Amino acid sequence: MNCERAGMEAENTYRLNCGQSIIYGDEAFQSLYDKYAPLIGRNAFPEMFILSERET
């Protein structure tokens, strides 16, 4: 899931840097969350977010 999210964020950043509009909006990120929530549980998401923020 983190790889998919990172790819979506990277594509959005690339498009913004090229003067284009983003391709992945809130609905796309919510869809990704909905896809993985049943598999890894709700408590894992805040932890993954905190870890990804530390890496940046």
pLDDT, averaged across the chain: 82
Report d(CA 7, CA 15) in Å as an integer: 12
Domain of residue 13: give its range. 2-55
Number of domains the chain contains: 1
Q: What is the pLDDT of residue 14?
A: 98
Amino acid code (one letter) for 44: A
- pLDDT beyond 80 at 50: no
- pLDDT beyond 70 at 52: no
Q: How far apart are the first and last CA of the chain?
A: 17
Whether pTM exceeds 0.85: no
Longest CA span, the chain: 37
Report d(CA 38, CA 36) in Å as an integer: 6
Q: What is the pLDDT of residue 17?
A: 98
Q: What is the pLDDT of residue 35?
A: 87
Report d(CA 29, CA 26) in Å as an integer: 5
DSSP 8-state secondary structure symbol assigned to residue 23 = S
